[in-house]
Amino acid sequence: MTSAPIPSAGKDNQPASTTGLVRVRRAIISAYDKTGVVELAKTLRQYGVEIVSTGGTMAALQSAGIPVISVESLTGVGSMLGGRVKTLHPSLLGGVLGRPNLPSDRKELDQARIRPFELVIVNLYPFSKAANDPNASFDDAVELIDVGGPTMIRGAAKNHETVAVVCDPADYPALVAELNANDGATTLAARRRFAANAFTVTAAYDAKIASYLIASLATPESGQFPEILIKRFTRSGSLRYGENPHQQAAVYRAADDTGPSLANAPIDGGKELSYNNYGDLDAAWRMAADFTEPFAAVFKHANPCGAATGASITRAYELAYATDPLSAYGSIVALNRTVDRACADALNQTTFIECVIAPGYDTEALALMLAKKTRRYITASTMSLVPGRVRFREILGGLLVQDDDEREVSPADLTVVSNVAPTQEQIASLLFARKIVKHAKSNAIVLAQGTAAVGIGSGQTSRVDAVHSAVARAGDRAKGAVLASDAFFPMRDGPDAAAAAGVAAIIQPGGSKRDPEVIAACNEHGIAMVFSGVRNFRH
């Protein structure tokens, strides 16, 4: 097929720098994901747009009765190398990259009888799907590395002065609205937005491929952290403000994170979540994920001020709230069971709760709780977390990365170092308290009765001050309680203060050069002490 001569530049195709409008006369459509492509093509035909297409996309359009010109009729070459080469040809790329308003480009295009495109609709092979599929082979993933698609997208995005490019079906409505608003033309502002989106897509696509290949080279000797770390985040919403009203803020989701996501969790009721809400919710969710039995956590400023298990989720919440009712004012509550009517009644009796996060809410319970107009209810698809996650922390000029603190401690891991051994009931309570203390900011101490915290001291600059803080919150409940410390006691003053309050047993990692002195203090007071061998700092 011989291409028709390029139409002369007229009113409809004046330089974008003059009018900003470019009428769409020709479009190329090559979409792996064909969602919405037929409807889009019908809109283009309403404006008389000539459509050039490839393989499966062409078949889909033709089946819908839409006239299509094949890529092969322009290039003179059919699909090659098992489909690896289809669109890499000057007849297509020249029409995408050529600048019709530049005399030298126009002359070359005329000589090659190449007509320009004003619109490129391309989306890419789903490489991420194969890369995230544990059953997909390396060769399967490599075959889904798109080459022609990114080339077309990048070419059109580079030449956005006269070419619009859309590579996500979610952007089709915006393109249709643009065409309808401008009688089949696009504005420069819209083309620039589309171009920015296109380069974002190709950058993320290449980043995923690079990360996959880097991961394939990992060895036990190289460790789990790659030499080059590539992460992509997509904004999922803007926040009212940051930690303080004078700071702007937004929330982003990790694009390749396939696990439960707080960034996209549904929200019912009240105002939008704040920056601080997200921090508290994240900390509370992580704690709730540590427990399989009915469990409730109460958080303030990313620190627990209440935690407990119970025979029901209602009882767990009542015990967690009782840990420190004063601090629970304006708190975040995490529950690892669906909220029923009884639990909703208990929550509604609490004076002020900012947010509740749970795996679900009974219809009756949610209707009751929504009466609290300022409270937000977040639905987590599951209160568990994908194992093997890593955590990121930004520092000036860099990023700290570590794997998550998933170390479990069982009764078999404990070493009794005192003359008095803990009872089986105390061991169960000690292990509960250790799970709680690992989620409190260091220096941290937790006192527990059974599987309910009764006093939490966190974020202190000395360990003995953390003991005093926990004891003060526990009051008389410290008598007979167990104590968990997130790190070793550097001297005996901590156990001395605990003993004075009536604490009966202590769990700590051990490892201090003054361990003998600390153990002697416990023996003097008749307190049981066990070493776990596991430190749980959280800064």
Residues with catalytic function: 158, 301
Q: Which of 346, 343, 345, 304 is nearest to 452 (CA)?
A: 304
Q: Are strands 233-239 and 249-254 parallel, antiparallel or unpaired?
A: antiparallel
Read off the amino acid at residue 364: E
Which 8-state DSSP code applies to residue 441? P
CA distance 78 to 87: 10
Three-state SS for 238? strand
Could you tell me the end-to-end alpha-carbon distance of the chain, in angstroms, rounded to an integer? 69
Distance from C-alpha of 119 to C-alpha of 104, rounded to nearest angstrom? 22
Indicate the angle between helix axes 188-216 and 148-158, nearest 10 degrees.
Answer: 140
Tell me how far apart the alpha carbons of residues 10 and 6 are, in angstroms, rounded to a whole number. Answer: 12
For residue 180, is the peptide bond before it cis, meaning its omega torsion is within 30 degrees of 0? no
Give dist(CA 316, CA 322) in Å, integer: 10
Look at phi and psi of residue 531 and say left if phi exceeds 0, alpha if psi is from -120 to 50, else beta: beta
Q: Residue 455 in contact with residue 447, Cβ under 8 Å?
A: yes
- Whether residue 357 contacts residue 265, with contact meaning beta carbons closer than 8 Å, is answered with yes
Distance of CA 18 to the CA centre of its chain: 43
Give the side-chain half-sphere CA count within 13 A for 421. 6
Residue 505 corresponds to which amino acid?
A
Residue pair 234/255 in contact (Cβ under 8 Å)? The answer is: yes
Cα(474)–Cα(447) distance, integer angstroms: 7
Contacts of residue 281, defined as CB under 8 A and 6 or more positions apart, other chains included, come to 262, 273, 332, 334, 355, 357, 378
What distances in angstroms separate CA 120 from CA 5, 20, 117, 161, one per listed residue? 20, 18, 7, 13
Q: How many other CB atoms are there within 10 angstroms of residue 226's CB atom? A: 15
Identity of the amino acid at 109? L
